[in-house]
Amino acid sequence: MPLTQSQIAEIDAHRADIFDTRRPTVPALEARLFQAMPLLDHGFVRVVDYMGDDGAIVQAARVSYGRGTRRVSEDAGLIRYLMRHRHSTPFEMCEIKFHIKLPIFVARQWIRHRMANVNEYSARYSVMDREFYVPAPDQLAAQSDANRQGRGAVLQGDEAAEVLAMLREDAGRNYDHYAHMLNEADGAAHDPSRQGLARELARMNLTLNTYTQWYWKSDLHNLLGFCALRADPHAQYEIRVYADAILDVVRAWVPCAHQAFLDYRLGAVTFSAQMLAVLRRRLAGEEVAQEASGLSKREWAEMTDALAASPAAGELA
């Protein structure tokens, strides 16, 4: 259960509060404020606050004094132009703050994006919850033979059962030891004769699939940069589900920017100068082999894979 009844009651209380404001608001996102979107087995994402909308992007680009009188189609066209030509600062005028619950190993991968304000739950001051991420059977895959960072075939039968049992056993045992070292009534049977280890030391015994939480605030430009990498099909599944959820929030928040992002970033590919030279030669009717292309085998494979994924360009592959 990602949220306790007391946490749900706290969220409902926040959602019951209504405030008057002169700032632009987005009804589709207002409807989602504070609500937790469950992810994985115990995780969630929820929007805590936001600033700006599609109009704020346009306003910043035009440096106007108000929201303007231009048509929505003109604003959408400008946003698409800005996205297409990779202008960044107008998108930085929008900000959003999330409350996120996620496994520690996902958090350590996530924090590599050094582009947001983060405040994480501190195990120096508080006791960690007894909640661990255990993959669903269809995500329990072997190491890929072709990709050092990827997964291969899904484990089956006794092998899968053994791995799942070890994940649960190791996480549970380590947490039991963590709680015992703390000697706190909330985590284990309290022994008044023992002092207990400091929280900042006891936490090192927890497994990386233990859940943590943080508040994470980002501007739209950097948020889309995160989504471009982590919502990609090649991203690790456990972080991709969070990026997909965040991207769905972006769709409700700034629909014009979201569609431009899908068209020009997430659904697009980039070709190098050498790749473009090969494509021009092919369009001119020349047969070009990898050996004569000036591309490495990996670059050649990336180019042909990108073209094969597009029905309109499939003949060039």
Unique residue bearing structure tokens 């619950």: 101
Extract the tokens encoding 62: 């035009």
DSSP helix/strand/coil, 238: helix
List of long-range contacts for 292-297, beta carbons under 8 Å, 24+ apart:
none
Cβ contacts of 106 within 8 Å, gap of 6 or more: 133, 236, 238, 239, 242
Unique residue bearing structure tokens 């501007």: 219
The catalytic residue positions are: 230
* DSSP per position, 24-85: ---HHHHTTTT--EEETTTEEEEEEEEE--HHHHHHHHHT-SSS-S--HHHHHHHHHHHHHT
Entry field: residues in the chain: 317
CA separation, residue 51 to residues 13, 228, 244 (Å): 21, 21, 21
DSSP helix/strand/coil, 88: coil
Give bridge partners of residue 97 from the DSSP assignment. 49, 217
